[in-house]
A and B are shown apart, each in its own frame.
Chain A
Amino acid sequence: SYELTQPPSVSVSPGQTARITCSGDALPKQYAYWYQQKPGQAPVLVIYKDSERPSGIPERFSGSSSGTTVTLTISGVQAEDEADYYCQSADSSGTCWVFGGGTKLTVL
């Protein structure tokens, strides 16, 4: 079955830039979405359609795509950004959703 691969963890100091990658064979054809999830809370969409930011999401969150890899970039990381981040896309048919395993972002 189709999989999206994320690093289990990323650590950065406050004010630095965090980059979280997500790899999958169908990513050149399917849009990617990124979710932030803090403990005990529902996931919050931070990026959709590879690089679009929903209203209310800070400008420090951005997304990009290159070939089979998409990247969530958080510039000027703040302590409040510490959370689990999940990428999501669709299979090659564009119907069934697929999630990455999640990346725990630690702000040192």
Chain B
Amino acid sequence: EVQLVESGGGVVQPGGSLRLSCAASGFTFDDYAMHWVRQAPGKGLEWVSLISGDGGSTYYADSVKGRFTISRDNSKNSLYLQMNSLRTEDTALYYCAALHIVVVTAPYWGQGTLVTVSS
């Protein structure tokens, strides 16, 4: 059974940092590009970041560029999102998602972890 389980969310003050993790199981992790997607309360879905299967390429939404860093450890089947200089507008439910690199199949999604940036 495929599972993506996010963790690491919590409450942090503006300007603070947080590191999210996503533990993957049930599929060959390094065959998949990994994404972070977020959803602010009452708002739509927003793509945040992407990392290639081997971790060699990363991409970011303009709203987080220079503040967030995506990484992965294929030996641990894990994805990470280091979030620095957090702003109140970063408050959201953060989802990780996996998409096969070669074959166009249905992507896998986790259930999300909540990040609240508030003083």
Do A97 and B44 have beta carbons less than 8 Å apart?
no
Do B107 and A1 have beta carbons less than 8 Å apart?
no
Interface range for A: 20 to 34
Neighbouring B residues of A45 by C-beta, 8 Å = 106-107, 109
User: Known interface pairs A31-B104, A48-B104, A49-B104. Does A99 touch B44 (Cβ–Cβ under 8 Å)?
Assistant: yes
Do B45 and A43 have beta carbons less than 8 Å apart?
yes
Q: In whole angstroms, how far apart are the Cα atoms of A33 and B109 in the complex? A: 13
* Residue A25 interfacial (CB < 8 Å): no
* B56 → chain A closest CB, angstroms: 13
Do B59 and A96 have beta carbons less than 8 Å apart?
yes
Q: In whole angstroms, how far apart are the Cα atoms of A31 and B106 in the complex? A: 11
Q: In whole angstroms, how far apart are the Cα atoms of A1 and B60 in the complex? A: 13
Q: List 8 A-B residue pairs with CB atoms under 8 Å apart, sorted by A's residue number.
A: A45-B107, A48-B106, A54-B106, A96-B59, A97-B37, A97-B50, A100-B44, A102-B45
